[in-house]
A and B are shown apart, each in its own frame.
Chain A
Amino acid sequence: MSKTVLVVDDSTSMRQMVSYTMEELGFDVIEGVDGQDALGKVSGQKLDLVITDLNMPNMDGMTLIRNLRAEDSYRFIPILMLTTESQAEKKQEGREAGATGWIVKPFDPEQLTKVVNKVVR
């Protein structure tokens, strides 16, 4: 009964790193290359966590978060944003879209693990 995480990032290297870390933590990983791709892959799918980048083609992170939150199944799951900007606006906007928390790039697997453990067990 492992948990499932959705990892969304258009950067392959970042995505791989996050996915690998999550797998090490015992998660099943679904990967998306952008918001649109991610949505396509998870309709009906059970998710326990979402980690998404913000800047992506086709559908950016914010829109993805809003779309996820609009679905009943995903109203309450933790959603983490990957952001390179530590400015307050992004965090605020994310909060308004319904994000749970954020991780600031650059980060390493340790930091990622710490944040993940805050929001999902």
Chain B
Amino acid sequence: MNIDLNKFRETFFVEAEEHLETMESALLTLETTPDDPELLNQIFRAAHTIKGASSTFGVEEVSRFTHVLENLLDRLRAGELTATPDLLELLLNATDVLTALIEAEKNQTDLPEEKEDVLQRLKIANGMDADHQEDEAAVESDAAPTDSLEYRIKFVPSENFFRFGLNPLLVIEEIDELGEVTACIPDLRQLKPFPAMNAESCYVAWNIEFEGAVSKDKLLEVAMFFDEETVFDVTPVNPPAPEPQTDPEPQPAAAAPPAAAQGEEAAAAPPAAAPKAKKAPVKVKDSVRVDRERLDNLINQIGELVIGTSMVEQEWYRDNQHAESAALNQLGKIVRDLQEMSLSLRMVPIAATFQKMARLVRDLGKKLDKKIRFETEGEKSELDKTVVDKIGDPLLHMVRNSVDHGIETAEERLAAGKPEEGRVCLRAFHQGGNFIIQIEDDGRGLNREKIFAKALERGLVSEGDKLSDEEINGLIFQPGFSTAAAITDVSGRGVGMDVVRRNVEALQGSISVQSTTGKGTLVTIRLPLTLAILDGLIIRSNQQVYVIPLLSVVESICPSKKDIKKILGKGEVIQLRGEVVPLLRLNSLLAVRGEPVPVDTNSLLVIVEDQGRKFAISVDELVGQQQVVIKNLETNFQKVPGMAGATILGDGRVALILDVNCLGTLKASTPSHGNNADAETNGTAPKLINQSDIPETSDGSPKPAEDGSNSVAPAASDLSSDLQKETNQ
């Protein structure tokens, strides 16, 4: 049988990586609690498993390296060595090297250079000579004779033979396979009267005559598992010179085949009839590994099922105006439940991502000689795996920032009256329909003056500009923006906050920064819980259908004309129970090029709220409410300003999903003038139409800052054009 081991290599790599993560995590914890025996066991077992599996799957380098590591760990857990900080450091390094080794084997690239060095240090720590080689168990193969030889075998099983799960019948069969058993004579001298015999013991022996082209050693192999009391003597019948047969040493001594009592046979060989395997109730956490692509396909397909069901529902209700269909309701419910279940399949806790940060903070802190305490909150919070995978890099960058630029050195902190140890905290929690991640540090915070100076340098602001705190903080999201005096080799490598923001936005999320100079910085990332599904309010505007995320919808109203007021002759607002809410005319915000913009006289308003900002959106009609599957516009197209994505409705048509937050930053076009500028859409940040000639009566949209919100407006160019306008006045 030729089983290809390669298919298991893949699993081995995944598994090894998991074990390495466990090791690293346990080692880090060991630094604070060096004597925890359970941790030591955990680390040992992880290394042990990797060693065993790696040698089985032919990953030699890993196996060799792990072998030495494992010895060291074994001594550690046995108490022969103490877990000094140096030793722990060495073990962490070893884990790193192992990780690199696994990577190298997986991708067939060069082995890490540090391997030898760390290996030597491991050996030294273990008290071994630097180049001590362990003897591998050698297996000799004996030359098979060409002629058939005769042997006499004396097989006397011990009394306990059966209790080891051994079966004399199988032994004889095995011998027979090597050649031919010409005679098999039972020796019944040990048999006792029935009542005196124990049904579980063996009392029979055999004398076997055998012929075959095999060596004596080959025959002795049959006795490999026999216990010491069992006798298995192999004597060649013909010359060559008879070897003394008395030694049962080489292998556990052979045993004579028990034949005898059928009752014992029955006891030794369990009855044949085997009922189909039934799984007993599982007591430990049981999980199944599923290929990622399959899972994604399943989830996508279920999404399509939701759309298909919607289509059926629509058709039905079109043809049967007021009739209810119990069957359809049932189906709809089942399908939506199915969808919820499928999405939860991909939810994973963010713990692993946070864990990676722990290591980073520790190493970085050491390197920069800063005392930093790393805390996490809510790491059990779950998020769609696709999001978790992509949020890692942005998080990494921001934690780096905190450690490198945020937290001061011990001296600086003491001088500032702060505790010597700095604190970096990663927090995750659910809020509304979103997943929030916060990175907080108690470092020196953002420096207003420095940022302003840099912005001045880059021409983003002018001398006399007055910017609110949010606007200043928002500047750090500009490409290439860094107020670090020197680009340290730690965080200087070209990943700026603009890339972070882009990554977050690509996940349909948003990012904002709050900071108090001298006290610290708080970065908040807001992500949708899942990328795929949205509860939407379907509205019509300008004969086009759009979707507004239901989560953002507060209410819809039909106000009277007198509640709508103009501001400064430009913007419009509505008075809503004492609150003044900006009004956006959707048909002019979303005008299509080349088409005239109809004058909007209706007053059906949908009140939406996002991140503390409220808007009133004027629409033509409310079409309905349904769950939609979000389709990414960037896949084949690009990011469209003001849109969070697209979806396919029940009638097969594409509908755009409005991004409520961004709507406020779109500039409107004048009714009946059409859009007259070129929007350069290069897709990175939402860009605006340049309104070179806005007549006085145009509808403007309010600037974000006026709302007094505490999050930063995302559009960089929005800020710049606003600033330009201010300076032009």
Contact = CB atoms under 8 A, between A and B. Distances in A.
Contacts of B8: 13, 16-17, 20
Nearest to A74: B165
B49 A11 contact: yes
B242 interface: no
Contacts of B52: 11, 14, 53, 82, 84, 105-106
Interface residues of A, number: 63
Nearest to B264: A76
Among A2, A34, A41, residue most surrounded by chain B Cβ atoms (within 10 Å): A41
B1 A113 contact: yes
Given A12-B289, A14-B52, A1 B272 contact: yes
B216 to A, nearest CB: 18
Contacts of B268: 76
Among B41, B57, B165, B224, residue most surrounded by chain A Cβ atoms (within 10 Å): B165
A41 B3 contact: no
B275 interface: yes
A18 to B, nearest CB: 10
A47 B222 CA distance: 24
Contacts of B568: none
Interface stretch (B278-286, B396-404, B450-458, B548-556): B278-286
Interface in A73-118: 73, 75-79, 82, 84, 86, 95, 98-102, 104-110, 113, 117-118
A17 B5 contact: yes
A90 B135 CA distance: 17
B170 A84 contact: no
A65 B267 CA distance: 19
Contacts of B9: 13
A119 B165 contact: yes
Q: What class of interface size applies to chain B in its complex with A?
A: 35 or more
Interface string A36-62: 110011111110100001011110000
A16 to B, nearest CB: 6
A45 B277 contact: yes
Contact of A48 (B42, B57, B270): B270
Interface string A2-31: 111000001111101100110011001010
Contacts of B225: 100-102, 118-119
Contacts of B58: 106
B277 A28 contact: yes
A3 B283 CA distance: 24
A55 B278 CA distance: 26
Contact of A106 (B15, B56, B162): B56
Given A58-B284, A75-B200, A118-B225, A14 B56 contact: yes
Interface in B66-101: none
A40 B284 contact: yes
Contacts of A43: 280
A64 interface: no
B288 to A, nearest CB: 11
Contact of B137 (A10, A12, A86): A86
Given A1-B272, A109-B3, A118-B174, A76 B165 contact: yes
B15 A95 contact: no
A55 B272 CA distance: 32
B286 to A, nearest CB: 8
Among B9, B58, B280, B283, residue most surrounded by chain A Cβ atoms (within 10 Å): B280
Contact of B56 (A3, A79, A108): A108
10 contacts: A4-B277, A14-B56, A17-B56, A17-B57, A45-B278, A46-B275, A76-B163, A79-B165, A86-B137, A98-B163
Interface of B: 1, 3, 5, 8-9, 11-12, 14-15, 41-42, 45, 48-49, 51-53, 55-58, 63, 137, 162-167, 170, 173-174, 200, 222, 224-225, 227, 252, 267-268, 270, 272-284, 289
Interface of A: 1-4, 10-14, 16-17, 20-21, 24-25, 28, 30, 33-34, 36-37, 40-46, 48, 53, 55-58, 69, 73, 75-79, 82, 84, 86, 95, 98-102, 104-110, 113, 117-121
